[in-house]
Amino acid sequence: MLQTTFNTDSLNALKHARQQFGAGTGQIIKKIESWYDTFMYMLPNLVLAALVMLFFYFLARLVTRYTHRVSEKYARNVPLSKIFGNIASIVIFFIGLSVALNVMSLDKAVASLLAGAGLAGLAIGFAFQDFIINFISGVIIAFKRPFEVGDLIETNSHLGIVRQLDFRSTSIEQPNGLWVVLPHRSVIEHPVVNYSKTGKRRVEIVVGISYDDDLELVKDATVTAVKKLPCVKEGTEVEFFFQQFNESSVDYMVRFWINFTNSQSDYYQAQHLAIVAIFNTYKDKNITIPFPIRTIYLNVNVNGEGKQVTFNLTGEAVQKLVD
């Protein structure tokens, strides 16, 4: 009797478990069928969204290539050109993603995506404010082109040849071989002198001559000496101007143009040749470049009478007299 009762209970439990399993299996099957129906319903939209993303992928590559080519042509800055291309690619990608999500009727996802992108952009803007300012300044430099790689410039009290332009800074090499890295922002905010823009440069030399010399002779001798220099640019005139009456000399300025490359040594060499030529010419023609002269008045007693004696001494002689 007890065994029969046990068998009956076991059969009932088994039937109940089978019913539960069947119900669970039925729910799973219904869920899979629901997913399948939804998938089949969304399949055209999924295929269309995939085609949209594929189209925008190739469009992004095309726009990136075109943007890179145009920006490199006008900006002549490879790093910036690559950045412009990447930015254009990212913009096209997000447009394609937005269109694809709209095709799949996921409008809420599009709104969430745009809101998240806005917040992320705001946070990045505050975190990288200086970087963004330097980047924008670099874009302005790239398109305005006040100078290019290889130009000799002076800015922020630094003189040197531009060696590198990237998206954040300008690197110049000074005549002493040291590199100076300047943020684009400081370059934009300060004057820039470009010595290579015109391909020529004017050399100015100031000299003082004695009051005893013939001024016209000095002018003719100086201009003739400078004109013979090989560095003087053809088709240009050597200019000569008397400037002022100094303490012990009459000062003048002679200036002339030279063909200027990107080497500061060209300018120094032209100065050197002009100074040597002027010095040798004055030596041949007995033209004096005076030392600074000091006039000393002394009152002396000669035979019981006070007399004033005047001494005209150079600066070197005065120093020896004082010592």
6 versus 220: the higher-pLDDT residue is 220
Which range (8-17, 137-146, 151-160) has the least confidence? 8-17
Least confident window among 60-69, 168-177, 197-206, 309-318: 309-318
Domain contains 140:
no
**Shared-domain flag, residues 210 and 186:** no
Question: What pLDDT sits at residue 221?
Answer: 94
141 in any annotated domain: no
Q: Does a structural domain hold residue 135?
A: no
Closest CA to 281 of 243, 316, 254, 314: 254
Does residue 154 share a domain with residue 89?
A: no
CATH of the domain at 210: 3.30.70.100
- Measure the CA–CA gap between 299 and 307, rounded to whole angstroms: 6
**Pairwise CA distance, residues 262 & 124, whole Å:** 40
Residue 219: give the domain boundaries. 200-284
What's the pTM value of the predicted model, to 2 decimals?
Answer: 0.56
Residues 115 and 79 reside in one and the same domain: yes
Most confident stretch, 88-92, 115-119, 318-322: 88-92
- Are both 77 and 11 inside the same structural domain? yes
Query: Is 239 inside a domain boundary?
Result: yes
In whole angstroms, what is the distance from residue 81 CA to residue 62 CA? 14
Is 72 a member of any domain? yes
The answer to whether residue 48 scores a pLDDT higher than 70 is yes
Q: Label the pairing between strands 179-183 and 293-302.
A: unpaired
Closest among 180, 192, 198 to 154, alpha carbons compared: 192
Q: Would you give the end-to-end CA distance of the chain in angstroms?
A: 144
Q: Tell whether 305 and 250 lie within a shared domain.
A: no
Does the pLDDT value for residue 35 go beyond 70?
A: no
The mean predicted confidence, pLDDT, of the chain is 76
Q: Confidence band (pLDDT; 50, 70, 90) for 304?
A: low
Has residue 115 got a pLDDT over 90?
no
Q: Has residue 133 been placed in a domain? A: no
| CATH number of the domain residue 178 falls in | 2.30.30.60
CB 155 within 8 A of CB 191: yes
Structural domain count of the chain: 4
- CA-wise closest residue to 278 among 262, 300, 255: 255
Q: Is 155 exposed, middle or buried (0-12, 13-18, 19+ CB in 10 A)?
A: buried
pLDDT of residue 1: 46
